[in-house]
Each structure stands twice: as structure tokens, then as C-alpha cells.
Structure 1
Amino acid sequence: MWSLTSGLLFVLLNGLMRELSLQLAPFETQFLRYLAGICVMAPLVLRGGWRAFIPKTIGGQFTRGAVHTAGLCLWFIAIPHISLADTTAIGFTTPIFIMVGAVLVFKEPMRWERWTAALVGFGGVLIVVGPQLTGSSGYYALVMLASSPVFAASFLITKGLTRYERAEVIVVWQAITVTACSLPFALLDWKWPSAGQWLLFVCCGILGSSGHYCLTRSFSIADISATQSVKFLDLVWATLLGWLAFGDLPGFWTLVGGSVICASTVWIARREARGRAPG
């Protein structure tokens, strides 16, 4: 449920970020989104006392922030040159990289159910976006693909940090480190936001911080590989958002692929719950 909720929040966030990135430079949008996250979380830090948010290893926090910023930069370089369908298909390779990394780094047991759910979910994504793929993205498609293992590395570092850091600490320091790492890129093409844009960035800060908190909580209580099949539900949330907010009716293949994704997610959730049930 933590992972499912994070996916819904990130879809809402991406909708706002897409609108803002059409109005401001992409790197500036990236920087202000995380700066807004710091502002949103500041009352939480002040109420709990800043000493409670001192990380046990600041090097780990900055490493994670730098890696995540690198993934964001690759993503923003490619996004103007790639269709939304191609972006969606390439982005859903990240869970596969995460599952491979979980085996290599954390020695997590890769039961056949997890691989099956991930592959079936990815198949559902291809059912939706496959008919729309242009194959003409060329160089920028490779740049977008390169961001997937980088994001996977960022999430694997987060999983490692959950072993000795609280979720709140990780989320706060992610906002701080990504903001610091993104600032030089934002200054390259800076345009001062309007009052309305600042309000949208505050909403982005709330959604992003909440989404990363839910995601980090899911990593702290379950194997990271067990949470990845739920990632494919993001396509369902995005379809529903497009329908409700923009009147984009889902097509036949979207409904078929969404059904496959939902089925694989429900199935693995039941298998994981059964495996955790006391014997």
C-alpha cells in the first residue's frame, strides 16, 4: 500500500511538473520542485528539532542526492526529443534494473513470483504503448534509457539507507541534496516564476515529499524487489488522470494493458501477503 500510494502521488506530481516544464526551463523546474520540498518540510523539521534530522552518514545522503540528480538531468535532456509513448516504455525498465540490483547488492531472494509479476506487468505496459512507439528517437532514446539504471541505483541507495536512517530523514536530505546539486544547472537559463507558478511548486513540494516518504517506507518494510510490480500501476493512474483532468478517453489497448497490469499487481500482492502471514 505504501508503494501503491507513492505511485499515485508521483503521477499527480508529474502532471504538474509537465505543465510547469512547458512554462519554465526544465532544469529550473527540477531545482524549484525540490526547493519547494524543503520549504514544505521545514515546519516538520522545526517541530521535531533539527538535531533529530542529522543523518548518521551525511556522505550517503549526498551520494544518493548526486546520483538522483544525474538521473534527472539525463531525463530532462531527452524528454523534449522523445514522444510520451517512448518515454513511458523506457521509464518502465527501471523496475527491472532495480530487481537485478536487489539480487546483486542486497542478496534478496528472487522468487519466481516476483520475476513473473514484473515481466507480466511490463508486458501490460508494452500492450498499451507498443502500438504508438515510433522508433525514431535515436540518440535521445539511448539517453533516456541511460537514466533508468541511474534512477535504479538511486533507489537501491535509498534501500540501503533505510537500514539505519528514518524515512523522514532520508526524504528531507534528498530534497536538500538534489536542490544543491540542481542549482548550477538551473542558473544556466533562469526565469523568475510568477505567483501562480510558485503556488504550483508548493503543490509539487507537498506531492513529491509525500510520495518519496511513502516510497521510502515501502523500502524499509519490504524487499525492494517485492515492491516493483506495483510500479506498473502508475500507467493506470496516469490514464485515469488524463481522463478526469483532460478528457482523454482510454483506448482499447489501454484498457487491455491496464487489466493485465492490475491482475499481475493483485496476484503478487496476494502472494507476498501469504508469504508474510504467520504460520
Structure 2
Amino acid sequence: MTKLSLRLQAMLWMLASGVLFILLNGLLRWLAQQMDPFVAGFLRYSAGVVVMLPFIWRAGLAAYRPHNVAGQFWRGALHTSGLLLWFWAVPHVPLAEITALGFTTPLFIMLGAMVFLGERVVAARWVAAAIGFCGVLVVVSPQLSGAGGIYNLVLLSSAPLFAASFLITKALTRRDAPHVIVVWQSLMVALFSLPFALWNWEWPTPAQWALFLLAGALGTSGHICLTRAFALADMSVVQPIRFLELVWASIFGFLVWGERPGEATFLGGAIIFASTTWIARREAKS
């Protein structure tokens, strides 16, 4: 299999993960508005473990034993820290702002991949990321009223923590399969978030239990796609694809909440699409 095909596969995996994560974020935002956010966070990752149990049972525990338990532990701690901030803020911040602020994570990831993982500094990838981020600003700036207040800053502070978690994920893919990494992430996050959930525990309704199982399936599938993308190509190759999530968020917001995208959304979406298409074509020719 050629390097060309691996890069394009990685981009497709990243594209799929973006769609799944937008669906997940919309569902979690709704659930976090109905019950304590920390309880919602714990149940989301507990459900991620539950949906993987049939696969663990079929393959056996040995197939899910990681090579680097310490790495899984640190990744779980960092990801939990980011998630606690994220779930604290998400009930108070509009979905468009959640998505836009989340786009700072790829920039932290690209910088961290260069510093800590020794990935090559490729100017074109940074240009694509910068253009994509400009597209995000075009979409968000007209309606970024700061309705979330201080919660916007709380949400923004989760970005470097998620970036650190994803950098550890990239390092773990060198020895562990994506399904192993995802299962251990769910286990670690559920473990670390349990004390915060118990503090304000409330039992979900039967309908909410079903939605948490759906969230577990969406999150697990999204993280598997993300991990496969990280395993197939440099992180700086696939990160610009994440900017397309704003397009998916606009579509999702319109279909579910009737949020009609304005002219800025279409213009910014065109800029984002152009940047991701350009970097994909360039990587294909390199």
C-alpha cells in the first residue's frame, strides 16, 4: 500500500470522525441541559465501555491488553480534565460557538506534533490550517455575541488538554490497535470522572439511558475513526480536515433546532472546503 493511499484513507477516516462527533456533541449538549453535566459525562463514557463489551467478549481480554498502561493512564487523566471543563460549559454555550472554539484544538495538535513527536514542518499544512481557521472566523464572527460569557473561556481552556490527549493517542498508535486505545480511553475517563458524577448523582430516565447508549456508540465509532486517521498519517496532514465540522454543525443545527445558516456561514464554509480540498489534492500529488 502506497503512502498516497494511506494519506487519503487517513483524511477519509478524519472526515467520518467529524460527522460522528458533531452528532455526538449535539446529543450531549441536549443531555447536559437535562441533567447534571458531570453525570452526563460519566454516563457517556460508561456507555462507551458497554457498547464495546460484545467485542471484548468475542475477542477475549488478552486482545485488549495495552502495551503502555502508563500512557493510557495519562491520556485518560488529560482527556478527563478537558471533558470536565467541556461538560461544565457546554449547556451554556450555543452549538456554533462550541464547534468554532473547538477548532483551536487542531492548532495546538499541529504545534505539539512538531515539538513532541518530531513531525516535519510542512508549510502547506500550516497554510491549510490557517485558511480553514479563517473560514471559521468568517462564519462565527457575525453571531459570536459572547452569549456563553465566562463559559466561552472555560470551553476554550479545554482545547490544549484535548490536544495533549490526542498527541498521546498518536504515540500510542505505534504499538496499540485503535480499538484497544478507544476502550481504555472510555475506561479511564469513566474511572476519573466517577467522583465528580457521584457528587451530584441523579438517575437518568429510560429514554435518557437509551440516548446515552447511542452517545456511547457514536463516541466510540468517532474515536475509532480518529485513531485510525492518526495511525495512517501525520497528525498535521489530517487536522485541517477537522474544519469541515463547522459545515456539519450548521447542517445539524438547521435540521434539529431550525438554526438557519446565514451568508457568512456559506462563505466561511466555502473557504473551509477550499482549504481542505487543496491540502488533500496536494498531499495526493506529493
Q: Does the pair score TM above 0.5?
A: yes
Alignment partner of 1:58 is 2:69: yes
1:245 positional shift: 2.6
Counterpart for residue 7 of structure 2: none
Counterpart for residue 210 of structure 1: 221
- Distance in 2 between the 1:273 and 1:175 partners? 34
Alignment partner of 1:177 is 2:188: yes
Counterpart for residue 14 of structure 2: 3
Counterpart for residue 157 of structure 1: 168
Contact 1:88 1:129 in 2 (8 A): no
Equivalent residues in 2 for 1:95-244, closer than 5 Å? 95-135=106-146, 139-244=150-255
Alpha-carbon spacing, 1:163–1:79, altered in 2? closer, same or farther (3 Å):
same
TM-score (norm 2): 0.92
Counterpart for residue 94 of structure 1: 105
1:117 positional shift: 0.6
Q: Which amino acid aligns with 2:258?
A: G
Structure 1 vs Structure 2 CA RMSD: 1.5
Alpha-carbon spacing, 1:241–1:34, altered in 2? closer, same or farther (3 Å):
same
Contact 1:78 1:140 in 2 (8 A): yes
Alignment partner of 1:273 is 2:256: no
1:75 to 75, 86, 109: 86
1:16 positional shift: 1.0
Alpha-carbon spacing, 1:160–1:196, altered in 2? closer, same or farther (3 Å):
same
Contact 1:86 1:134 in 2 (8 A): no
Contact 2:113 2:236 in 1 (8 A): yes
In structure 1, the gaps of 5 or more residues are none
In structure 2, the gaps of 5 or more residues are 1-11
Query: How far does the alpha carbon of each residue in 1:47-92 deviate from its partner, in whole angstroms, 9 at most, with x for none?
Result: 1111111111211111101100000112223334545454333221
Q: Which amino acid aligns with 2:180?
A: V
TM-score (norm 1): 0.94
- Distance in 2 between the 1:136 and 1:52 partners? 47
Contact 2:96 2:250 in 1 (8 A): no
The secondary structure found in structure 2 opposite 1:131 is coil
Alignment partner of 1:258 is 2:269: yes
1:247 to 252, 258, 264: 258
